[in-house]
Amino acid sequence: MPSRSDITSFGAGPARLPTEVVEEAAKALVNYNATGLGIAEHSHRSQLAVDIINQAKADLASCLDIPDDYEILFMQGGGTGQFSASVYNFVGAWVTRKYKEIFGHFEGDPTDRPELIQQLKQAVDTDLKIDYLVTGSWSQKASVEAERLLGSKHINIAADARKTNGGKFGTIPDESTWSLSDNAALVYFCSNETVDGVEFPAFPKALEPRPDGKGPIVVADMSSNILTRNIPVRNFSAIFFGAQKNLGMTGITVVVIKKSFLPPTLSQPSVALMRHLGLPVPPIIFQYETIAKNNSLYNTLSIFDVYVAGQVLKKLLQTYPDKVEGQEAVTNKKAQLIYDAIEAFPEIYRIIPNKDVRSRVNICFRVTKGDDLEAAERAFLNDGTAQGLTGLKGHRSLGGIRASNYNSIPLEGAEKLAKFIRAFAMS
């Protein structure tokens, strides 16, 4: 029976947690801060819960240097829930802006101005677009969900990696080929594709703010590479990520959103107006405005999950005085160790994505040793498991091997995997 210290899990998620965080969390589940109750038994309306949320928000803001004009929301529904939530909320924001443009300072019932309502309807029919950069399985799923909610006429696939890569993911199309819409309600991209091992090496230049401060409304899914590198938060209107890879446990999803998309600067349009325009209305728990107004406590939030995320953040801040930049250096070093080992044996291994977009956190490759690919990969996985290297099987849709190099993987774990990769090739 292996102990926790014997196993290095490279699974894509839920990911391994730092052992000291798990140990503290176990104590907190039994008796939190000598209250006689476990943390999961305390009311989410208590001051204790509010303090945990506020501290986690402050530490996340510190780790990522999140500016004061951004709000942090803890939500549920995972990244998949945010595929819907981002559409609901940013389409609502687009309608609000277009309404003000057409109705001006009119404050009465909009149905009293049928000619303006018709003009707004026409604008929705012809101008409302959401742009998607499809570079892997998750961005593809996000675009499909948006089409399900709004219909295909409102969805613009500004780039699709499969069209320039033989029908497969593994590249990011050159920015010069992107067909971005004018004034899109949002431009979505997945910063790191967990399934396909593709990562944007930097923020896309085509999406950078213009000198006048305006520019695309950019929403990014960072579920698998958040807290692994420094990011230009001000370039984004919103960032979302599930906690279960680099932040904590499955159960909470974090949204970092610019406050200018929230009241009092900008409110969602009325339900009646959205229905009049034939557009979907968000479920109340997916409405950013509602969640922000209630400090993430509109409904029963799992405070234990927020607590665990907060402990992970505290560990990161204690470990790296330079915060996420320190973690980025370690992440890059671990990734380089693993890629160097794979590349040393081109006749044995084949890395799946193109070199210029290889993910640092989801390293995807095939084992081509011998004539039987499946047998070779099965042997690789079995031998790795025997040495305590688990979770290396690739996603069912892609196959092969996937080593998820999340923050909880220590440098020693990456070194152990690299050593195994070399030894297997020479066996």
pLDDT, tens only, 272-285: 999 999 999 999 99
C-beta of residue 217 within 8 angstroms of C-beta of residue 185: yes
CA 286 from chain centre, in angstroms, equals: 16
| Backbone φ and ψ of 220, nearest 5° | -125, 140
Residue 1 has pLDDT above 80, yes or no: no
User: Other C-beta atoms within 10 Å of 19: how many?
Assistant: 11
pLDDT per residue as tens digits for the range 283-321: 999 999 999 999 999 999 999 999 999 999 999 999 999
Give residue 373's pLDDT: 87
340-355 burial, b if ≥16 CB within 10 A, otherwise e? Answer: ebbeebeebbebbbee
| Backbone φ and ψ of 144, nearest 5° | -65, -40
Give residue 312's pLDDT: 98
**Helix (H, G, I), strand (E, B), or coil: what is residue 95?**
helix
Give residue 186's pLDDT: 98
Strand pairing report for 130-134 and 186-190: parallel
What percentage of the chain has pLDDT greater than the value 90? 94
Structure tokens at 333: 């070093």
| 218 membership: H or E segment, kind and range | strand 218-221
Q: Which domains does the chain carry? A: 51-306 (3.40.640.10), 322-426 (3.90.1150.10)
State the pTM of this model: 0.96
* Residue positions counted in the chain: 427
Give residue 206's pLDDT: 97
Identify the band that residue 242 occupies on the pLDDT scale cut at 50, 70 and 90.
very high
Residue 197 has pLDDT above 90, yes or no: yes
Identify the band that residue 4 occupies on the pLDDT scale cut at 50, 70 and 90.
very high
Give residue 212's pLDDT: 82
What is the rounded distance in angstroms from the CA atom of residue 366 to the CA atom of residue 170? 13
**Helix (H, G, I), strand (E, B), or coil: what is residue 76?**
coil
CB burial of residue 406 (10 Å; 0-12, 13-18, 19+): buried
Q: If you average pLDDT over every residue of the chain, what do you get?
A: 96
Give residue 2's pLDDT: 84
Residue 213 has pLDDT above 80, yes or no: no
What is the rounded distance in angstroms from the CA atom of residue 100 to the CA atom of residue 265? 13
